[in-house]
Amino acid sequence: MSAAVTVRAAAKINLHLGVGAPREDGFHPLDTVYQAVGLYDDVTADRAHGWSVETRLANYLQGAFLPEAGANIVDAVGRRMAPDGDPKAQVEIRKSIPIAGGMAGGSADAAAAMVALDRLWGLHTSDEEMLAIAAELGSDVPFALLGGSAHGGGRGELVTPLVDNGDYAWVVVPDETGLSTPAVYRHFDKLCPDAPAVPPPPHGVLEALSYGDPGRLAVALHNDLEEAAVDLRPSLGALLERGESEGALRGMVSGSGPTCVFLCESTDAAQHVAAALESVRRVALVAHGPVAGAHIAEVM
């Protein structure tokens, strides 16, 4: 067994999120392009005689809803990774990724916990098995392990890394109140009763990434869930308009929302947009992508 280990995992943005009609199992088929961006959660796992999970929130997340004890996705990771099904570790999550914000913060925590517990318990799990376990835990967890930019299919869990030589500056604006992902999908079904069984492929985004050009990417960004999220929370539409009027190349709801993201042409432009949006929202964060997936930050 190792000493205490801290693993860092990044938030994600869906550069393209194509959603198909729900399948017989209730899941919606997705065709998506992920990008990991520089907002992080850190998960530290240390040796212990029992199992515990404690979460510490960044200042701008104070008051956010947290799962009840034992119901965190990290608890599921512990049960799945422990060789005998009886996990023993003390786990601390330090969260900076918006909660229930469409940026896969829970999936980032799961990926970070997988890497941390694998190291702590000396499991030496293969990359292939780690990705298989990640897919069991949640649709976004495999990408949280990989990071960078990637093309996702199935429920999002079938992930193919992409070559992306671009450097993109984003402004991330969380909402003080989360938005239920199932509720957004249900509203999508209501608004789009004729959604195709298989969503169209993301040709525009893939081509834009091959150029590494923020201007091309801004034109190609697409989110099938944006209409549903904005219809449920109209203030998001006003925020997107404000960000673009302040100079963002493009504003978009992130995933199922309610976090909104704004692609900018440079870091200076992103800082200007963030400062402008802080006049109407409590928090506006500048982040860059793509960044690495879950990786060890410290061993103590």
Q: How confident is the model at residue 221 (pLDDT cuts 50, 70, 90)?
A: very high
* DSSP output for 84-138: TS---EEEEEEE-SPTTSSS-HHHHHHHHHHHHHHHHTT----HHHHHHHHHHH-
Task: Tell me the average pLDDT across 20-29.
Answer: 89
- Examine the residue annotation and report whether 88 is marked as an active-site residue of this protein: no
Task: Tell me the average pLDDT across 275-282.
Answer: 93
Considering the candidates 75, 109, 118, 140, report the single residue annotated as catalytic: 140
**Integer Cα distance of 195 and 86 in angstroms:** 43
The pLDDT tens digits for 194-204 are 999 999 899 99
Single pTM value for the model: 0.92
The domain segmentation of the chain, as residue ranges, is 1-300
Considering the candidates 12, 95, 109, 164, report the single residue annotated as catalytic: 12
* pLDDT above 90 coverage of the chain, percent: 78
CATH number of 1-300: 3.30.230.10
The answer to whether residues 93 and 43 touch, using CB atoms and an 8 Å cutoff, is: yes
- Examine the residue annotation and report whether 86 is marked as an active-site residue of this protein: no
